[in-house]
């Protein structure tokens, strides 16, 4: 019989209860019992919601005190030996030390969970890694759910994805070679689940969404043959990418079911329906686990029609992936207007959508006629709504020409024009944008929001901060100054609030890592810039100094990437609309005398699709959007861009094609290794590799920065090299920022003298 389920539910809580409890625990304000009670309340709430919505089972094992990958490592017993912990006797305190580090050991590394904004802790593998079993929390939660009368479906990260996501601590260590050791550990877990009375287990293998190395793909058969004989039915879950390349493998695999993400890759369904084994369950992930739009239920049913006709009760209905990437409950939103509210569905609402689809398949569409009618009305309304569709914006995008995405002259000519007025020394110095966001700044912003500080007083307070930042930069002797971004709460929200087409939630939080959450704006309609956004601040800052003041904008790709984006048109279209808004801002800054303008694109790399075959198309439109935003200026106006730490080696041609006059990068943590690629590729324009890590309060000594400058000079000509920190300084204190920058300038003076 058709089953309705979700792959997982957010654990952070409707009002971020888990976040606040964790932080209180870390500060020592509450004890372990109190923290445990919060976790248990949240789990119970989330299971109850799943049952109330009409799902056939509840996901268990999706809860984690910090991260599900770390929890899997702790369950397997595969903890880094450097901590010296006994996995079987692991305490909650030790679990947090693994996640956050302790006095003797740095934390496990953290990295992005596929192409989402969630970060997982990277398991470490070395020659001594064992999988002898660890914590019992997973099993306890299953008992807990059953005690509440739920039908449980345990959820666990699968062995091959676990190994694939881990990091080999020794060069040359074959991660796949651990399969023989990890399989018995999973077998022990599955056998214990059988003893607990579990019928189905969901094993997540998101690496199936990648184009896998043949050796990894080939490992599925033997590994799952071993696991399938434990006496529990396995649902193998893929998500975030098309598994079509592995369709034959998955059809033949001895598992009871396979889950597909039909939101990110709807076209893969056909490859699976052709020759799908009759007895095997196909779980169709048709409700978007990563976005906040209410599903068009009729369209989803149409999408499922052929599969249902063929599979009948073997077709299951699900969220595309875990709902971890959605905010928790739309019902908590009291500030959104009624119409927009009606267009949205958060995690809790998505449970209902999954259940409605299941009901329609089991009992016919008439059984859910009111829900379908309501959903149809929303879909119709979104198609024609004037608040979404702005014909002038669409016409402007349609009229874009090749020249709009291209500077008037090539870089060498522009560089000459820029040198003529900028008159910068060799190895010019600058910073990446923000200066410390002090308590005073935050307090002023909060007071202004509450109406306790007038707009005028707030502006005056921020201008005072800008004055302070300019004076300090002049005193330090920096060459190209910034205003310091005091007035910005966040580099995306600051712009989104000033553009039409965006809306904001009060509680739309999504876990980023541990207790950290983000609240992305909702990009629901055509984007327009009603008026200049940053010009007054930049003009004020420039009025304080004769040094060039760098304007500071967030780029179109990053605005897109860090928002919940409308699903009714290709992302490319939306990105081009954002690009035009930024282009207008660039033009206004230039007209106001701001002739060095930085357009930040820290999220450029993270927009890359999981499948390499789709990279070119993305890089093409994302790059075009950046160039539309940046290319409307005179040759003599200098465009900077900034990107944080990421692998650039494989996309360097696309980075060069952005044609920014200067790119500043985070490179110090990789000891400038990143630059080798820029050197050997012969990156043609100006480049500012970060010479110190801004994430740490540590003030690096002059010699350290001098050494990094030397490394940069070895691969790049001095004429095109800029000197700057890795990123903005908003998380530092002023004394830290000033001390580090003073060292940076000393290092630069020494480097210049040696040229
Ligand atoms: N200009 C921004 C800052 O300095 C850039 C932030 C980022 O790269 N994430 O804060
Ligand atoms: Zn950065």
Instruction: Look at ligand 1, atom 1, and give the residue with the nearest C-alpha.
Output: 433
Which atom number of ligand 1 is nearest to the Cα of residue 602? Answer: 8
Lowest mean pLDDT among 329-338, 588-597, 616-625: 329-338
Ligand positioned closest to the Cα atom of 558: 1
Rg (CA), the chain: 27
Ligand positioned closest to the Cα atom of 665: 2
- For helices 734-754 and 455-476, the axis angle rounded to 10 degrees is 30
Pocket of ligand 1 (CB under 6 A): 432-434, 485, 491, 552, 600, 602, 642, 644, 727-728, 730
308 tagged catalytic: no
pLDDT band at 480 (very low <50, low <70, confident <90, very high): very high
With a CB cutoff of 8 Å and minimum separation 6, the contacts of 91 are: none
Average pLDDT over residues 496-525: 97
Structure confidence by residue, pLDDT tens digits, 531-563: 999 999 999 999 999 999 999 999 999 999 999
pLDDT for the residue 50: 98
Structure confidence by residue, pLDDT tens digits, 311-348: 999 999 999 999 999 999 999 999 898 899 999 999 99
Q: Which of 15, 128, 695, 743 is catalytic?
A: 695
How many angstroms is it from 642 CA to the middle of ligand 1?
A: 8
How many angstroms is it from 556 CA to the middle of ligand 2?
A: 15
pLDDT band at 93 (very low <50, low <70, confident <90, very high): very high
Pocket test for ligand 1, best of 436, 480, 484, 491 (most atoms within 8 A of CB): 491
pLDDT for the residue 648: 85
Read off the pTM.
0.95
Q: Is 562 annotated as a binding residue?
A: yes
Lowest mean pLDDT among 102-111, 508-517, 721-730: 102-111
How many angstroms is it from 498 CA to the middle of ligand 2?
A: 22
Is residue 10 left, alpha or beta, with left meaning phi > 0 and alpha meaning psi from -120 to 50? beta
Give pairs for 712-719: CB < 8 Å, separation 24+.
712/672, 712/675, 713/751, 714/679, 715/675, 715/676, 715/678, 715/679, 715/680, 716/675, 716/678, 716/679, 716/683, 716/687, 718/426, 718/427, 718/755, 719/426
Report CA 294 to chain centroid distance, whole Å.
21
Average pLDDT over residues 219-227: 98
Which atom number of ligand 1 is nearest to the Cα of residue 433? Answer: 4
Q: Is 353 annotated as a binding residue?
A: no
Written in H, E and C, the secondary structure of 145-180 is HHHCCCCEEEEEECHHHHHHHCEECCCCCCHHHHHH
pLDDT for the residue 705: 97
pLDDT for the residue 1: 86
Instruction: Look at ligand 1, atom 6, and give the residue with the nearest C-alpha.
Output: 728
How many angstroms is it from 727 CA to the middle of ligand 1?
A: 6
Residue 646 has pLDDT above 80, yes or no: no
- Residues paired with 723 in a beta bridge: 429
Instruction: Look at ligand 1, atom 3, and give the residue with the nearest C-alpha.
Output: 728
Percent of the chain with pLDDT over 70: 100
Mapped onto helix, strand or coil, the DSSP state of residue 282 is: strand
What whole-number distance in Å separates Cα of residue 40 and Cα of residue 6? 19
With a CB cutoff of 8 Å and minimum separation 6, the contacts of 173 are: 125, 126, 127
- Matching residue, tokens 């005190």: 65
What whole-number distance in Å separates Cα of residue 167 and Cα of residue 183? 18
C-alpha dist (Å) from residue 627 to 382, 411, 609, 653, 665: 30, 14, 20, 14, 18
Percent of the chain with pLDDT over 90: 95
How many angstroms is it from 668 CA to the middle of ligand 2?
A: 12
- For helices 179-195 and 68-76, the axis angle rounded to 10 degrees is 90
Which atom number of ligand 1 is nearest to the Cα of residue 598? Answer: 1
Q: Is 620 annotated as a binding residue?
A: no
Ligand positioned closest to the Cα atom of 600: 1
Q: Which residue has the higher pLDDT, 606 or 353?
A: 353
DSSP run (H or E) holding 38: helix 32-53
Nearest to 690 by CA among 735, 753, 642, 651: 642
CB 688 within 8 A of CB 663: yes
How many angstroms is it from 490 CA to the middle of ligand 2?
A: 13
Q: Is 112 annotated as a binding residue?
A: yes
Nearest to 554 by CA among 521, 525, 524, 526: 521
ipTM, 2 dp: 0.99
pLDDT for the residue 670: 81
Q: Which residue has the higher pLDDT, 178 or 695?
A: 178
Structure confidence by residue, pLDDT tens digits, 227-272: 999 999 999 999 999 999 999 999 999 999 999 999 999 999 999 9
Which atom number of ligand 1 is nearest to the Cα of residue 488? Answer: 10
**DSSP-derived secondary structure letter, 408:** S
How many angstroms is it from 600 CA to the middle of ligand 2?
A: 8
Pocket test for ligand 1, best of 117, 430, 431, 432 (most atoms within 8 A of CB): 432
Q: DSSP states of 423-492 as a string? A: -PPSS-BB--SB----HHHHHHHHHHHTTSS-HHHHHHHHHHHHHHHHHHHHHHT-SBEE-B-TT-S-TT
Q: How many residues can be counted in the chain?
A: 755
pLDDT for the residue 440: 96
**DSSP-derived secondary structure letter, 293:** B
Average pLDDT over residues 474-496: 97
Average pLDDT over residues 152-164: 98
pLDDT band at 127 (very low <50, low <70, confident <90, very high): very high
Ligand positioned closest to the Cα atom of 491: 1
Written in H, E and C, the secondary structure of 675-740 is HHHHHHCCCCCEEEEECCCCCCCCCCCHHHHHHHHHHHHHHCCHHHECEECCCCCCCCCHHHHHHH
Q: Is 606 annotated as a binding residue?
A: yes
Q: Where would I find the H helices in 158-256? A: 159-165, 179-195, 214-228, 247-252
Q: Is 590 annotated as a binding residue?
A: no
Task: Tell me which residues have their CB within 5 A of the ion that is ligand 2.
Answer: 602, 644, 727
pLDDT band at 669 (very low <50, low <70, confident <90, very high): confident
- For helices 455-476 and 535-543, the axis angle rounded to 10 degrees is 50
């Amino acid at each position: 019989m058709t089953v309705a389920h979700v792959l997982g539910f957010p654990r952070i809580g409707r009002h971020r209860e888990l976040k606040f409890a964790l932080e209180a625990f870390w500060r020592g304000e509450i004890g372990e019992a109190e923290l445990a009670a919060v976790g248990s309340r949240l789990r119970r709430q989330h299971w109850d919601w799943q049952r109330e919505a009409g799902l056939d089972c509840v996901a268990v094992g999706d809860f984690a005190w910090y991260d599900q990958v770390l929890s899997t490592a702790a369950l397997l017993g595969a903890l880094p030996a450097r901590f010296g912990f006994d996995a079987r006797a692991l305490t909650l305190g030790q679990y947090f030390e693994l996640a956050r580090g302790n006095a003797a050991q740095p934390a496990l590394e953290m990295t992005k969970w596929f192409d989402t904004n969630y970060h997982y802790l990277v398991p470490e593998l070395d020659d001594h890694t064992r999988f002898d079993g660890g914590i019992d929390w997973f099993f306890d939660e299953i008992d807990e759910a059953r005690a509440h009368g739920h039908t449980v479906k345990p959820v666990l990260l699968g062995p091959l994805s676990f190994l694939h996501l881990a990091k080999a601590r020794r060069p040359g260590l074959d991660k796949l070679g651990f399969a023989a050791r990890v399989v018995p550990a999973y077998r022990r877990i599955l056998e214990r689940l059988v003893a607990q009375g579990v019928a189905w287990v969901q094993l997540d293998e998101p690496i199936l969404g990648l184009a896998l190395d043949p050796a990894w793909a080939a490992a599925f058969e033997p590994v799952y043959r071993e696991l399938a004989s434990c006496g529990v039915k396995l649902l193998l879950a893929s998500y975030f990418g098309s598994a079509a390349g592995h369709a034959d493998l998955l059809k033949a695999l001895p598992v009871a079911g396979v889950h597909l993400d039909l939101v990110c890759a709807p076209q893969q369904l056909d490859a699976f329906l052709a020759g799908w084994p009759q007895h095997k369950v196909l779980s169709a992930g048709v409700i978007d686990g990563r976005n906040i739009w209410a599903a068009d239920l009729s369209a989803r049913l149409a999408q499922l029609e052929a599969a249902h006709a063929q599979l009948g009760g073997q077709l299951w209905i699900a969220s595309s992936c875990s709902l971890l990437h959605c905010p928790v409950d739309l019902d908590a939103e009291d500030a959104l207007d009624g119409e927009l509210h009606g267009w949205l569905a958060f995690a809790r609402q998505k449970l209902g959508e999954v259940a409605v689809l299941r009901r329609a398949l089991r009992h016919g569409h008439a059984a859910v006629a009111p829900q379908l009618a309501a959903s149809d009305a929303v879909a119709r309304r979104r198609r024609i709504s004037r608040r979404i569709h702005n014909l002038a914006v669409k016409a402007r995008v349609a009229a874009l020409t090749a020249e709009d995405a291209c500077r008037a002259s090539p870089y060498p000519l522009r560089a000459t024009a820029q040198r003529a007025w900028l008159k910068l020394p060799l190895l010019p110095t600058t910073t990446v944008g923000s200066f410390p966001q002090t308590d005073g700044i935050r307090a002023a912003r909060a007071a202004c929001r509450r109406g306790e500080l007038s707009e005028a007083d707030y502006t005056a307070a921020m201008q005072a901060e800008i004055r302070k930042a300019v004076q300090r930069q002049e005193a330090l002797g920096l060459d190209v100054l910034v205003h310091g971004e005091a007035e910005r709460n966040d580099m995306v929200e600051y712009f989104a609030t000033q553009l039409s087409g965006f809306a904001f939630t009060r509680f739309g939080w999504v876990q980023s890592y541990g207790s950290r959450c983000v609240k992305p704006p909702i990009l629901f309609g055509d984007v327009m810039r009603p008026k200049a956004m940053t010009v007054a601040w930049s003009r004020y800052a420039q009025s304080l100094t004769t040094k060039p003041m760098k304007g500071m904008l967030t780029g179109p790709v990053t605005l897109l990437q860090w928002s919940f984006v409308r699903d009714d048109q290709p992302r490319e279209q939306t990105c081009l609309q954002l690009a035009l808004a930024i282009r207008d801002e660039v033009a206004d800054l230039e007209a106001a005398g701001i002739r060095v303008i930085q357009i930040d694109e820290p999220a450029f790399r993270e927009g890359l699709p999981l499948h390499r075959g789709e990279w070119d198309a993305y890089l093409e439109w994302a790059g075009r959007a950046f160039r539309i935003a940046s290319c409307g200026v005179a040759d003599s106006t200098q465009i900077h861009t900034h990107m944080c730490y990421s692998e650039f080696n494989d996309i360097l041609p696309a980075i060069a094609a952005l044609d920014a006059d200067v790119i500043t990068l985070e490179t110090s943590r990789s000891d400038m290794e990143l630059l080798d690629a820029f050197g050997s590729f012969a990156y043609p324009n100006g480049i500012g590799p970060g010479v110190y890590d801004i994430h740490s309060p540590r003030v690096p000594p002059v010699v350290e920065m001098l050494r990094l400058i030397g490394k940069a000079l070895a691969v790049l000509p001095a004429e095109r090299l800029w000197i700057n920190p890795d990123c903005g300084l908003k998380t530092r204190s002023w004394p830290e920022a000033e001390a580090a920058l003073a060292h940076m300038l000393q290092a630069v003076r020494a480097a210049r003298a040696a040229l």
